[in-house]
Amino acid sequence: MYKVIDIPGLVPFVQKYISSGWEGISTFSILVVIAFLAASYFLPKELERKHLDPTHADWLLILGVFGTFVGAKVFFIFEIWDQVFIDTPGFDGKYLYPLTHFDGFPGRPGLWSSLFSGSGLVFYGGFLFGILFISLYMIQNKLDVKAYLDAAVPSMALGYAIGRLGCFVSGDGCYGFATHADIPVLTFTYWPTSAVPSGVPVWNTPVMESFVSFLFFIYFQKWARFQNFKRFSLGAQYLVLHGLARLGIEFLRVNKAVIPFFDPPVQSNIPGASGETTTFLNGYYWHGFSQSQYVSIAIILVGLYFLVKWKLWEKEPVPA
């Protein structure tokens, strides 16, 4: 006979915070799974081609995905920090209240509700934590970190391209601000049921990023990986290329500046789906480097540093 363990408060917690309001599998989740499956197809093949152990592919993928979601959530909390911990009339304890109340201040994103929700993911947090997790795994198992990271680059580029399509089809928040340009695919009016019903044409930044990342995948998959570059050349190239692409895209995205160079929009906080989204998107503009842009610059500099220090444009000598 099995004994049922009753944990006080568990059922109400699950009903309130996990099971309530669930509307089925999202399109974003489906595309994330497709991205994972695509990477799980290409990575073992590349490890075999490079005479590396393909049995590590599963752990590299699992840790990469896990690190991605953990880091993306952590960076998202930093991004909305000023909305979570605020001076609100009638509430004592600016820092204590969000810690003790799951949903945070009324009308504001909560710390715990944001951390455990299915939305709100910042790519660079996921990118850095994913790299950290798989690097620690490789160090622990005494693997050639440079060679394994090179082997993972095509899969990373493809996975990111598919994931950005997931952001687009779900109507997520990685959109651009309003534009008068009318360019097929590059501009788009979000549908009313999306997370951000704009009603005005905006820059279609998710599809832009996806397209560029697909180009990176083709470059690495069809050409660069066969050039016998020095170890970590592909990794350093990817850092520079992806950093430049993200740096440029961010000029069109709705993101607050860390240190504003120009007067920021009057409505500085991104409104919810029921807010004045149309006015907000029309009134938004780039006013200084965002968190992602500063991280992009750092990643570009790191990639260039390794390219120059190790002369990674050179090729390994061909064995006799």
- CA-to-CA separations, 228 to 137, 170, 311, 312, 315, in angstroms, rounded: 25, 40, 13, 10, 5
Retrieve residue 274's tokens: 């029921």
Q: At a CB cut-off of 8 Å and minimum separation 6, what does 88 contact?
A: 94, 105, 108
Please give the Cα distance from 68 to 123 (Å, whole number). Answer: 8
Is residue 27 classed exposed, middle or buried when 0-12, 13-18 and 19+ CB atoms within 10 A define those classes?
middle
Give me the residue label for tokens 């089809």.
Answer: 169
Q: Has 108 been labeled as part of a binding site?
A: no
Neighbour count for residue 295 (Cβ, 10 Å): 22
Give binding residues as ranges: 164
